[in-house]
């Protein structure tokens, strides 16, 4: 397993980024300011993570995505651990926003994240079409925070 920091041509990763956020316009709002990490298994891209500093205490995961055929193999967890280790000395908090999907929320909570607040109607107000995950329409953005110790 190898994690590479992507500094140029971040749009080349759009196909996998669209798994984590299905609207290219939304991705384009943060991708150039983000640090993108790509996880490779035997030279095959499996997962990506885009992070962006919010302030001097907080860094945010804007996108975390794994190709469906590589899920449940620990790649996303490895990226969260990598990002946590990389930023824990300079930041106090790692935050992220996600939809109301029980599997996704369980995944993050198992990795030390706690729900902090919701942005009401985020997915309705910010996307030009309904967003569905596991057959359920996403409405609110749920923010989660992990405190670095």
| Burial of 72 (C-beta count, 10 Å sphere; 0-12/13-18/19+) | exposed
pLDDT tens-digit profile of 80-126? 999 999 999 999 999 999 998 888 999 999 999 999 999 999 988 98
Instruction: Indicate the CATH number of 2-147 among 3.40.1360.10, 3.30.70.580, 3.20.20.70, 3.40.630.30.
Output: 3.40.630.30
Calculate mean pLDDT across residues 23-45.
94
pLDDT value, residue 50: 97
Tell me how far apart the alpha carbons of residues 45 and 125 are, in angstroms, rounded to a whole number. 32
pLDDT greater than 80 at residue 149: no
Examine the pLDDT at 73 and tell me if it is beyond 80.
Answer: yes
Give the domain ranges of the chain: 2-147
Tokens for 45? Answer: 């891209």
Q: Would you state the structure tokens that stand for residue 84, as one six-digit string?
A: 């946590």
Angstrom distances, CA of residue 102 to CA of 54, 106, 108, 135? 26, 6, 10, 12
The pLDDT value given to residue 102: 87
């Amino acid at each position: 397993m190898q994690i590479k920091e992507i500094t140029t041509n971040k749009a080349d990763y759009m196909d996998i980024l669209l798994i984590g956020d299905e609207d290219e316009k939304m991705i384009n709002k943060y991708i150039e300011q983000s640090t993108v990490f790509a996880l490779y298994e035997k030279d095959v891209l499996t997962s990506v993570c885009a992070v962006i500093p919010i302030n001097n205490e907080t860094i945010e995961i804007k996108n975390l995505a794994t190709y469906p055929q590589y899920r449940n193999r620990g790649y996303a967890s490895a990226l969260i651990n990598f990002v946590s280790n990389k930023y824990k000395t300079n930041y106090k908090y790692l935050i992220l926003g996600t939809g109301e999907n029980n599997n996704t929320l369980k995944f993050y909570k198992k990795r030390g994240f706690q729900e902090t607040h919701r942005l009401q109607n985020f997915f309705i107000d910010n996307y030009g079409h309904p967003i569905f995950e596991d057959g359920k329409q996403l409405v609110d953005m749920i923010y989660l925070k992990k405190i670095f110790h």
